[in-house]
Amino acid sequence: MLTKRRIYEFDDFRVDTGQFLLSKSGHAEPITPTVFKILQTLLEQAGDVVTKEDLMKSVWPDSFVEEGNLNRNVSTLRKALAEKPSDHRYIETIPKTGYRFVAPVRVIEYSPPAGILRGASNRCSHRIVGRETEQQRLREAYDQA
């Protein structure tokens, strides 16, 4: 399933879903793909409660995972966000239910920089000089195929 590339910004953090990158003040914060997916899922539903079941389906769609694994990864995410267990500046725990991303989030739809070519041109920008015999063989092989 392809999703649009988005940039999420909150406080000094920036999350680029296309590059799977979490950065703080322009410096990359190393996190695992699993922790990144949890963060992305919470950001996609910022302000709403995301149940533990929904998080586990999103992060581990084809696996059975114990709830303790989710809890450990959320704890790792909180550390990456420099959030203390009692802070809840970013992630609020909803007891026996799930989690909610509570910080104000700015969402930016990604668009590639202007002037970048997208896709190959069908036109040949130069002519091949010489090698007529080889070119003829290639044409014949192509026609035969």
Q: How far apart are CA 6 and CA 8, in angstroms?
A: 6
Give the integer Cα–Cα distance in Å for 101 and 108. Answer: 17
Q: What is the pLDDT along the chain (145 residues), one digit of tens a residue?
A: 456 789 999 999 999 998 899 999 989 988 999 999 999 999 999 999 999 999 999 999 988 888 899 999 999 999 999 998 778 899 999 999 999 999 999 998 877 766 655 555 454 544 556 667 777 787 788 788 7
> Do 34 and 73 meet the contact criterion of CB atoms below 8 Å apart?
yes
Contacts of 20 (CB under 8 A, 6+ apart): 33, 36
CA pseudo-torsion sign 37, 25, 98, 69: positive
- The predicted pLDDT at position 59 comes to 92
Six-digit token string for 55: 């998080």
Assign residue 103 a region: left if phi > 0, alpha if psi is -120 to 50, beta otherwise?
beta
Structure tokens at 21: 């990158």
Q: To 10 degrees, the CA torsion angle through 37, 38, 39, 44?
A: 80
